Amino acid sequence: MTAVDPKATFRGPTPGERLDRALETLRSSGRVGIMTHIVLGYPSVEESYRIVDCMVQSGVDIIEVQIPFSDPTADGPVITAACQSALDGGVRVADAFTFMKEVTSRYDVPFLFMSYLNIAFAYRGGVNASDKKNTGLRAFVGEAAAVGACGLILPDIPPEQTQERYPENCRDFGVHPIYVVSPNATEKRLQMIGQVASGLIYATSRTGTTGREMQLELERLTLFLQQARDICKLPLAVGFSISGRQQIEALRGHADVAVIGTHLIRAYEKDGVDGVRKELGELVG
């Protein structure tokens, strides 16, 4: 990868501005957008390209690309198994950057990286790798920007994590640090997140891990979403356990984006890319 100087790179739009424009379009339309999720390399990198193409052609608004990790603590059994399968198939972080560069140059849809702090902290390639100040998390953020990622979702990085200068590094490279919050977040924690987050807030529809079948606890959820919006002053994406159009419509007026992950992996496992296309035909408004 080519080394990137953030001050020299973004004379034009920053990567994060692609996400900003998409969210502005959604807010003006009044509809709930769709963010889909893939685990890169599941079942193969080649098939990941086909799945992304299907998602774009189906009209999704944002795509989240998960870099597989051996201990994905915020994910349920379906995504955990997909991560392990991708790792067993030899997928590594460098493959994720290559993939992101290709899809961001091919499609106008904003793409986000999702992974975990250990992946970013251990990164030693890419941006100015010979400069000790540009290793680890900073190098990871810079490389993500260089390949066109609009934002990063690292669910295990807390807002009080300051020693790695995560939000500052994201601002340097024009990438949004997207924080994950759950309905049990305190007002104090939401205030902390509001001070460091940008782009959007990723709110879970419940506590725990993704993928369990359940009805959204709508009354509790909407109260939480209103509190998060009031405090953080950012658009909201809601994920975990969303699998139907009715659930998406229930978020209208309360959230900007619905995140669909486990449901589409199950659809793929049943009927391949055609299964993903069929489900998205029913989910995309």
Instruction: Evaluate whether residue 116 is within a structural domain.
Output: yes
pLDDT surpassing 60 at residue 11: no
Per-residue pLDDT reduced to its tens digit, 179-191? 999 998 999 999 9
The pLDDT value recorded for residue 134 is 58
pTM: 0.90
Please name which of 110, 71, 109 lies closest in space to residue 87, comparing C-alpha atoms: 71
| CATH number, domain containing residue 20 | 3.20.20.70
Report the share of the chain in percent with pLDDT over 90.
72
Span 148-177, mean pLDDT?
A: 91
Half-sphere exposure of residue 61, counting CA atoms within 13 Å on the CB side? 24
CA distance 247 to 23: 20
Instruction: Evaluate whether residue 3 is within a structural domain.
Output: no
Per-residue pLDDT reduced to its tens digit, 26-48? 999 999 999 999 999 999 999 99
pLDDT surpassing 90 at residue 199: yes
Q: How confident is the model at residue 240 (pLDDT cuts 50, 70, 90)?
A: confident
CA distance 33 to 21: 13
User: What burial class does residue 240 get, using C-beta atoms within 10 Å of its C-beta: 0-12 exposed, 13-18 middle, 19+ buried?
Assistant: buried
pLDDT surpassing 90 at residue 9: no
Span 50-60, mean pLDDT?
A: 98
The pLDDT value recorded for residue 8 is 38
Structural domain including 201 reads 14-277
Instruction: Evaluate whether residue 65 is within a structural domain.
Output: yes
Per-residue pLDDT reduced to its tens digit, 111-136? 999 999 999 999 987 544 455 555 68
Copy the structure tokens of residue 263.
Answer: 């449901």
Residues in the chain: 285
257: left (phi over 0), alpha (psi -120 to 50) or beta: beta
pLDDT surpassing 80 at residue 4: no
* Degrees to nearest 5, angle at CA 33 with 29 and 35: 155
The pLDDT value recorded for residue 267 is 97
Instruction: Evaluate whether residue 236 is within a structural domain.
Output: yes
The pLDDT value recorded for residue 220 is 82
| Residue type for position 278 | K
Instruction: Evaluate whether residue 9 is within a structural domain.
Output: no
The pLDDT value recorded for residue 218 is 74
Report the share of the chain in percent with pLDDT over 70.
87
The pLDDT value recorded for residue 99 is 98
The pLDDT value recorded for residue 70 is 85
Question: Mean of the per-residue pLDDT values for the chain?
Answer: 88
* Per-residue DSSP letter, 132: G
How far CA 148 is from CA of 15, 100, 141, 190, 245, in Å, comes to 6, 7, 11, 28, 30
Instruction: Evaluate whether residue 96 is within a structural domain.
Output: yes
pLDDT surpassing 60 at residue 207: no
Instruction: Evaluate whether residue 4 is within a structural domain.
Output: no
- Active site members: 64, 75
Copy the structure tokens of residue 211.
Answer: 């993928």
Per-residue pLDDT reduced to its tens digit, 132-150? 555 689 999 999 999 999 9
The pLDDT value recorded for residue 274 is 98
Per the structure, the count of domains in the chain is 1
Q: How confident is the model at residue 221 (pLDDT cuts 50, 70, 90)?
A: confident
Per-residue pLDDT reduced to its tens digit, 72-112? 766 788 999 999 999 999 999 999 999 999 999 999 999 99
Instruction: Evaluate whether residue 83 is within a structural domain.
Output: yes
The pLDDT value recorded for residue 163 is 62
* Per-residue DSSP letter, 134: G
pLDDT surpassing 90 at residue 168: yes
